[in-house]
Every structure is written in structure tokens, then in C-alpha cells.
Amino acid sequence: MTKNDIADVLAEIGTLLELKGENPFKIRAYQTGARALEAIEEAELAVLIREERLKSVKGIGDALAQKIGELHTTGRLEFFETLRASIEPGLVEMLEVPGLGPKKIRALRDQLGLSTLVALAEACTDGRVAALAGFGEKSQQKILEGIRNREAYGRRHLWWDAHAVAEPIVAGLRALPQVMRAEAAGSLRRGMETVGDLDFIVAASDVAPVVDWFVTQPGVREITARGATKASVRFESGLQADLRLVPAEQFAFALHHFTGSKDHNVQMRQRALARGLSLSEWGLVSAEGEGTVKQKTETGGPASGAPHAVIDSEAALFAALGLHFIPPELREGLGEIEAAELAGGAGGLPRLIEPADLRGAFHNHTTASDGRNTLAEMTAAAEALGWEYLGIADHSKSSFQANGLSEERLAVQVAEIRALNASGRFRTHVFAGTECDILPDGRLDYDASVLATLDYVVASVHNAFTQSSADMTARIIRALEHPQVTMLGHATGRLLLRREGYALDLSKIIDAAIANRVVIELNASPWRLDLDWRHWRKAAARGLLCAINPDAHETGGLAHVRAGINSARKGWLTSDAVLNTRSLADVQAWLAARR
Ligand code: DGT
Ligand code: CA
Ligand code: CA
Ligand code: ZN
């Protein structure tokens, strides 16, 4: 952790102790310690810790020095975690409401028994807060407003939506004459399925015009911060964005730091420390405290024994620590650093799947069920993307809310698809499939004789979500054991930021899919991304085959495979693990062999 990160923790400890009503001297010690720490230079801190001289700093006592050391080297502090866990989470949330500090929160808790935001909002609405000594009408109004805003703004955003906001901003920043380099960092760059806020890193020759441009972008509702090297805005959607301006020679370090993740950063710092170096958003310096920033030529080059390359890219930064370049999607602190070792490594980094590797996709809808484009329109759109094949999998009859196809209508669609392929109208081959409901007892929605007329079958759960985990697991496994099922659609049924998936035992389902040579799709719809990336690395290593399916309900939806590629990359998937990277002939052969 950097000194500022550590100072933040100390300040938070002070606040939490205050929430608990602890002794004021103890509280003051943490607040003073946080300020004392901020006054120390990053490199100096490393030296003080190593030489156990931290307690000689004014404002930092024995106990505090020990805690700072622990945070600096491990990035964690058990005392802090225990303390936080001991406090009702609602009280901690109240700290984020403007106008509420620890003292007032304690008063609300002790005198009105309030320990959740919901209860607090109620107490504001019926006037109990205003009646409390030290609050009043105005302060009650402000608290209520703060809670309402928090509900509107406090939420995360789909990667797809955040990306749509970020992309033109990055392009616009790069087009400014003062800007040398600009990137979107943070969770967006890591391809996370949801994004808290946007983080832009810019190297510029002149700061003010860049900040002026940034805060006047279309859709900016509010400028929440504006300083010499940083600006923050909030868009109409509630999405917030931070812009950070750095000198060109710090760009690679800032980009790496603000790309994160936090866990990855902590591990990178530990690796640097093990090599006598200290890594931060500012640079890579000798941990001896000479303050030699490697990329600064005027200091006469790096300290002796340190790597000599100029660090002007993330690749150079990783190389300076003996590592291959780690793609941002892998930077979650889940073994990527070990795998990136230049010297051997734990199997090495995978060659991750890329958007251009996809040659088609299997799960797409047309106007025959609940899609918004016809078969011909969808095929034309797939052809425009350069796809060799497009799978049509409209809903089956039990999904009446989605206009699912009866056996007769399905037969008509299959005939249409065969005729379209025979006509040679499109270069893209169309596979005739279905998204067949898995009925509550695990049987399929069409008879085997109907399924036999199709090229493939996606089996999905669309009803009876509230079954027990055991029932749902047995239900899905029964479907996977059906000889005509090719792949499992949106395995958990989650909708990001809207609803959790249904209860099930995923590891059993993955086992059954592997045993029955059934594909599990990575549904690439930006609000699904299901099966989640966190499961894929292990599952693929055990032999599970993936298909990245956009579940498109209109032509524009085919582009959602890009979101699926993000998740596939986060799941360490190579093109080998994904069926729809194969050629048309190979897919046809694979489907034939499964029959
Ligand atoms: P988000 O915005 O919640 O989707 O997630 P991120 O990863 O974009 O997080 P954010 O915006 O708070 O910060 C961007 C990156 O900056 C984060 O991934 C790592 C780095 N960072 C921020 N705060 C800390 C910290 O306290 N310690 C460390 N080591 N890194 C941090
Ligand atoms: Ca962020
Ligand atoms: Ca941020
Ligand atoms: Zn579905």
C-alpha cells in the first residue's frame, strides 16, 4: 500500500472508533497518525519501515508504527478488518450521507435506534430526526436528499454502458493538441462486467485546456471536483468519471496503478519490494530511499543494481520487475503475476482469445419469437461482421411470453433457413437451432423427433426460478444428459444489477456438461455475462467447452460478443476453449460427431 492508502485506513479507523464511541485520545491518535504519514515521502516511508524507525516520527507511536508496517507490506490489517466487521454496516453507510458524521450517527443510533438507511429515511419523513437536539428541519431535509441521491447515483453501471460513455472521451482527449497520451483505466479497462466509475489517465503538455474540455463534455451534469491535476464529473446517468493528469514520464506508472485491480497492485508492490524497489503511481524507485525515479534521465539513470531500461510503457514496467506484459483483464491478483514470470513461470500466460477470433455465434433470436429483426436481416448483419455462420435459436413453445414457436412454426422456420442457405444469398451459413425451455422437471419443451430436425439445441431455464438448489441442479443436469442438447444457455439466469441467478450447484453442472460433452455458453448479453468469468479458468482447464453467444434480439445485438470476449479473457480463455472460433467446416464436423 502507498502511504496515502495507509493514511486513508488510519483515518477510517479513527472514524470507526468514533462511531463506536471510543475514548477521544485513541481516536485523535489515528487522526494525527494519518496526517503525520502524509507528510512523509513514499520512498522515505519504505526505509523507515525497513529500519524500524517509524516510531521516531512525531505523531506516530509504537502501536501505530506496527500497524503501518503491516499495511505497507501486506496491504491488510486484521485490526481494521475486525473493527469494521464489529460495526453495523448501516452505520458505516450513513457516513456517506452528506451532513452526517460519526457523532450525529451515534445520536441517531442511540436516541432513535436507527441503524439502516431505510430506517433513517423513514425517520426523516415523519419528522423524528428534526425533533432531535442538534438536527432541525434543514438538516433533516439534507439527510433525506442525500439518501435519495445515493440511491440514484450510488449504483454501478454495466460495462457496455460505461464503455459507450468512455470511448468518445478517450478519442476526444487524444485529439487535443496538448494531449500526448490518454487511456481509460480502472475496472472498465479490466473488462469487469460492471463499472463503479470511469478513470481517465492523461499525459499532457498543458493541463488547464484539457480539464476545461473534460468538464464541458456532453452529458456532464455536475463537476464534483476540480484541481490542478485532477477533475471529477458526474454524467446524467449518475456515472462518475475521474480525470488524472500526469507528466509524460509518469504515464506508464499512473496507467498501471489506476488500472488496478487493488489486489494486483498490492502483489506488484510486494514483488517490487522483494527486489529492493518501491512501486507507486509515481514511479519505480529504489527502496533505499534515494528517491531515484527510474525514468528520469536528469538524475543520471537508475540506481545501481536496478533495471536500466527507460520505463515509458506498461510493458517496460512489467519487464523491469521480470515479467511479461499482463493484459489488463487478467489483473485481478489471481495468479497472473506468477504466470507472467519471464523466467519460466507457472505454465506461462495464456494467449487470450481476441474479438477477431470469433467466426460466428449460436444463440440469436428473430421476429419468429421475441427478436426485432427477421432471419434475413440477422443473417445480413452477421455477414457484415464477416461471420462464417450464424445460429438461430428462437424460443420454444412454453416461453409463450416470448412468442415461443410451436412445432409447426419451428418446422416452417427450419425450412426457411434451409432455403436461405441453398439460395446462396449470403456468404454466412445459418444453423437451424432452438433455445428450448428446460421444463421444471428437467424434460425438454420439444420431443426428440422435433429436435432431430435441427442442427443444434440450446437448452435454457426460463421459469420456476424459485426451485431449491437441489431441484434446480437436478433439473439442469437432466437436460444436459439429453442426447440432443448441444449447449446450456445463460446457466444461472442472473441479470446484472437487477437480479441474482437462481440457486444451483454450479460445480455439479459443470461436471455434467463435461461428462456429456455439452457446451456451456458464455452469454455475452451485457446484462447477463453468464456463466460468470470467475468460473471459466478452472472449468476450461477441466475440459469444458465454451461458446460466446450474444443472445441477440436485434441486429445491433450481435456486437455484444465484445462484452463476452471481455469476460472470456478475464476467465483466461484461449480460442481453443471456445467453439465459435472454429471454422464452419470444423463446427459442422463437431456437431455431426455429437449426434
Ligand atoms: P470500480 O470503479 O469500483 O468499478 O473499480 P476500479 O478498479 O476502477 O476502482 P477505482 O476506480 O476505485 O480505482 C481505480 C484503480 O486505482 C483500482 O483498480 C486500483 C487503484 N486503487 C484505487 N484505490 C486504491 C487503494 O486504496 N489501494 C491500491 N493499491 N490501489 C488502489
Ligand atoms: Ca473505476
Ligand atoms: Ca475511480
Ligand atoms: Zn434465454
Q: Ligand 1: which residue has its CA nearest to atom 24?
A: 262
d(CA 78, CA 163): 36
- By most ligand atoms within 8 Å of CB, the mutation choice from 3, 190, 265, 326 for ligand 1 is 265
Q: Is the CB of 266 under 6 A from ligand 1?
A: yes
Atom of ligand 1 nearest to the CA of 1: 29
CA-proximal residue: ligand 1, atom 5 (nearest):
187
- Ligand 1 pocket member 265 (CB < 6 A): yes
85 and 223 part of one domain: no
Relative to the CA of 192, which ligand 1 atom is closest? Answer: 4
Q: Residue 122 Cα, ligand 1 centroid: separation in angstroms? A: 33
pLDDT tens, residue by residue, 418-431: 999 999 999 999 99
Q: What are phi and psi of 66, to 5 degrees?
A: -65, -40
51's CB contacts (< 8 A; 6+ apart) are none
Q: Which ligand is nearest to the CA of 194?
A: 1
In sequence order, the β-bridge partners of residue 284 are 279
Model pLDDT, residue 305: 44
| Residue 350 domain-assigned (yes or no) | no
Looking up cell 522515505 gives 44
Is the distance from the beta carbon of residue 195 to the nearest atom of ligand 1 less than 6 Å?
yes
* Ligand 4 midpoint to CA 460 (Å): 6
pLDDT tens, 67-113?
Answer: 999 999 998 999 999 999 899 989 998 987 878 999 999 999 999 99
Q: What is the pLDDT of residue 306?
A: 47
Cis peptide before 273 (omega within 30 of 0): no
171 Cα to the center of ligand 4, angstroms:
35
Q: Ligand 1 pocket, 76 CB below 6 A? A: no
Comparing 25-39, 106-120, 286-300, 344-358, the range with the smallest average pLDDT is 286-300
Check residue 408 and give its pLDDT: 98
Return the best residue to mutate from 199, 255, 264, 496 for the ligand 1 pocket (most ligand atoms within 8 A of CB): 199
Q: How confident is the model at residue 8 (pLDDT cuts 50, 70, 90)?
A: confident
CA distance 323 to 279: 14
Sheet holding 179-184, edge to edge: 179-184, 197-204, 240-246, 230-235, 220-226
Same domain, 286 and 417: no
- What pLDDT does 344 receive? 73
Look at residue 300 in the predicted model and tell me its pLDDT.
39
CA-wise closest residue to 442 among 473, 476, 481, 483: 476
Q: For the segment 325-375, what is each residue's pLDDT rounded down to a tens digit?
A: 999 999 999 999 999 999 876 678 999 999 999 999 999 999 999 999 999
Which of the ligands is closest to the CA of residue 190? 1
Instruction: Give the position, in ligand 1's atom list, of the atom nearest the Cα of 5.
Output: 26
Other CB atoms closer than 10 Å to residue 370's CB: what's the count? 15
Strands 458-460 and 230-235: unpaired
Assigned C-alpha cell, 99: 451532513
- In this structure, the number of other CB atoms found within 10 A of the CB of residue 409 comes to 15
- The span from the CA of 419 to the CA of 416, in Å, is 5
> Distance, CA 290 to ligand 3 centroid (Å)?
30
Q: How far is the CA of 430 from the centre of ligand 2 (A)?
A: 40
Do 115 and 15 belong together in one domain?
Answer: yes
Given 96, 123, 152, which residue is the final one in a domain? Answer: 152
Ligand having the closest approach to the CA of 258: 1
Measure the CA–CA gap between 343 and 338, rounded to whole angstroms. Answer: 10
Atom from ligand 1 closest to the CA of residue 190: 7
Q: How far apart are the first and last CA of the chain?
A: 56
Residue 346 has a pLDDT of 64
Q: What is the DSSP letter of 181?
A: E
| CA-188 nearest atom, ligand 1 | 8
pLDDT band at residue 297, thresholds of 50, 70 and 90? very low
pLDDT of residue 394: 98
Question: In this structure, are 324 and 178 located in the same domain?
Answer: no
pLDDT (average), residues 222-232: 93
Q: Is 260 in the pocket of ligand 1 (CB under 6 A)?
A: yes
Task: Assess if residue 91 is contained within a domain.
Answer: yes
Q: Is the pLDDT of residue 39 over 80?
A: no
Domain boundary residue among 224, 246, 268? 246
pLDDT at 154: 61
Mean pLDDT over each residue of the chain, to the nearest integer: 93
- Hey, which of 262, 278, 337 would you mutate to test ligand 1's pocket, going by the most ligand atoms within 8 Å of its Cβ? 262
Counted domains in the chain: 4
Question: Residue 281 falls within a domain, yes or no?
Answer: yes
* CB of 5 closer than 6 angstroms to any ligand 1 atom: yes
Residue nearest to atom 19 of ligand 1 (CA): 260
**Does residue 186 line the site of ligand 1, with CB under 6 A?**
yes
Q: What is the CATH number of the domain that holds 169?
A: 3.30.460.10
Confidence of residue 282 (pLDDT cuts 50, 70, 90): very high
- The CATH number covering residue 473 comes to 3.20.20.140
Distance 407 CA to ligand 4 centre (A): 18
Q: What is the pLDDT of residue 153?
A: 57
Same domain assignment for residues 326 and 365: no
Please work out whether the CB of residue 197 comes within 6 Å of at least one atom of ligand 1: yes
Does 186 lie in the same domain as 122? no
Proximal ligand: closest to the CA of 260 = 1
Distance 358 CA to ligand 2 centre (A): 29
Residue 301 has pLDDT above 60, yes or no: no
Q: Which atom of ligand 1 is nearest to the CA of 197?
A: 2
Alpha-carbon distances of 60 from 35, 38, 40, 132, 322, rounded to whole Å: 10, 12, 11, 38, 35
Q: Are residues 374 and 508 in the same domain?
A: yes
The per-residue pLDDT for 345 is 63
Residue 405 — very low, low, confident or very high, per pLDDT cuts 50/70/90?
very high
Q: Is there a domain that residue 207 lies in?
A: yes
Q: Is the CB of 187 under 6 A from ligand 1?
A: yes
User: Which grid cell is 7?
Assistant: 493514511
Atom in ligand 1 nearest the alpha carbon of residue 265: 29
Show which of 102, 127, 152 is a domain's final residue: 152
Ligand 1: atom nearest CA of 187 is 8
| Structure-block grid coordinates of residue 349 | 500466460
**Percent of the chain at pLDDT exceeding 70:** 96
Given phi > 0 = left and psi -120 to 50 = alpha, else beta, which region is 419? alpha
Before 278, cis peptide (omega within 30)?
no
Task: Tell me: do 305 and 415 sit in the same domain.
Answer: no
The answer to whether residues 99 and 47 belong to one domain is yes
372 domain-assigned: yes
Please name which ligand lies nearest the alpha carbon of 398: 4
- Beta-carbon contacts of residue 401 (< 8 Å; ≥ 6 apart): none
- Same domain as 586, residue 479: yes
More confident residue, 227 or 524: 524
- Ligand 1 atom 2: residue of nearest CA: 196
273 Cα distance to chain centroid: 28
Which contiguous run of DSSP H or E holds residue 433?
Answer: strand 429-437
Beta strands at 277-279 and 284-286: parallel, antiparallel or unpaired? antiparallel
Q: Is 500 exposed, middle or buried (0-12, 13-18, 19+ CB in 10 A)?
A: exposed
Residues with CB under 5 A from ligand 4 (ion): 460
Which ligand is closest in space to the CA of residue 255?
Answer: 1
Task: Give the H/E segment covering residue 16.
Answer: helix 3-20
Q: Is the pLDDT of residue 44 over 90?
A: no
Instruction: Tell me the per-residue pLDDT of 111-134, one tens digit each, with 9 for 90 and over.
Output: 999 999 999 999 999 999 999 999
**pLDDT tens digit string along 144-203?**
988 887 776 567 899 999 999 999 999 999 999 999 999 999 999 999 999 999 999 999
Do 334 and 569 touch, CB atoms closer than 8 A? no
Judgement on whether residues 382 and 436 belong to the same structural domain of the protein = yes
Residues in the chain: 595
> What local confidence, expressed as pLDDT, does residue 309 receive?
63
Mutate which of 187, 234, 329 to test ligand 1's pocket (most atoms within 8 Å of Cβ)? 187
d(CA 450, CA 440): 20
pLDDT at 331: 98
Query: Which is more confidently placed, 97 or 475?
Result: 475
349 in a domain, yes or no? Answer: no
Domain, as residue range, for 290: 250-344
- Same domain for 395 and 509? yes
CATH number, position 28: 1.10.150.110
Report how far residue 485's alpha carbon sits from residue 317's, in angstroms, rounded to the nearest whole number.
48
Candidates 440, 535, 438, 415; CA nearest to 487 is 438
229 three-class SS: coil
- CATH assignment at residue 265: 3.30.210.10
Helices 3-20 and 62-74 pack at an angle, to 10 degrees, of: 130
For ligand 1, the distance from its centroid to the CA atom of residue 196, given in whole angstroms, is 10
Cα atoms in the 13 Å half-sphere on the side-chain side of 342: 11
Residue nearest to atom 9 of ligand 1 (CA): 186
The full DSSP string for 468-488 is: -HHHHHHHHHHHHTSTT--EE
114 CA to middle of ligand 1, Å?
Answer: 31
Mean pLDDT of 256-272: 97
Alpha helices in 250-402, H assignment, sequence order: 251-259, 262-274, 314-320, 336-339, 375-384
Ligand 1 atom with least separation from CA of 266: 29
